[in-house]
Amino acid sequence: EAAVTQSPRNKVAVTGGKVTLSCNQTNNHNNMYWYRQDTGHGLRLIHYSYGAGSTEKGDIPDGYKASRPSQENFSLILELATPSQTSVYFCASGDRLGDAEQFFGPGTRLTVL
């Protein structure tokens, strides 16, 4: 089965600090995604990527940057973390081939104090 891992799994950050969330996939999928999940909002897309070197803005990109240095790795960067960015973040990978299923990582719980 497809494998997506995230690190760290839990993170406490201070307001104004820099936070980097990492994602690695071994599926050789072209597309990767970063979502946040909040009660009452469901899953919301922050950034996505078509392949190494590419990043695209999703629905809520403000305050976030993304980096895709390789096929396997996709990072989400919060340059100046704010309490409103406290959330659970999920990374996913997928491909338009087949049934376009997305495979999700286990999530990172981020708390910004």
Partner 1 sequence: QQKVQQSPESLIVPEGAMTSLNCTFSDSASQYFAWYRQHSGKAPKALMSIFSNGEKEEGRFTIHLNKASLHFSLHIRDSQPSDSALYLCAVSMGYQNFYFGKGTSLTVIP
Query: Residue from 41, 51, 53, 83 that binds partner 1 (CB under 8 A)?
Result: 41
Candidates 12-20, 45-53, 60-68, 70-78 — which segment interacts with partner 1 by CB under 8 A?
45-53
- Choosing from 20, 56, 60, 61, the residue that interacts with partner 1 (CB under 8 A) is 56
**Subset of residues 10 to 39 that bind partner 1, contact rule: CB under 8 A:** 31, 33, 35
- Give 5 or 15: the residue with its C-beta nearer to partner 1: 5
For partner 1, which is the closer residue by CB, 35 or 64?
Answer: 35
User: What are the CA-CA distances from residue 83 to residues 8, 50, 93, 104 (Å)?
Assistant: 18, 30, 27, 25
Residue 97's closest CA among 35, 49, 27? 27
Binding status of residue 43 toward partner 1 by CB under 8 A: yes
Q: What is the DSSP string of 52-83?
A: TT--EE-S--TT-EEE--SSSEEEEEESS--G
Task: Return residues touching partner 1 (CB under 8 A).
Answer: 31, 33, 35, 40-45, 48, 50, 56, 58-59, 90, 94, 96, 99-107
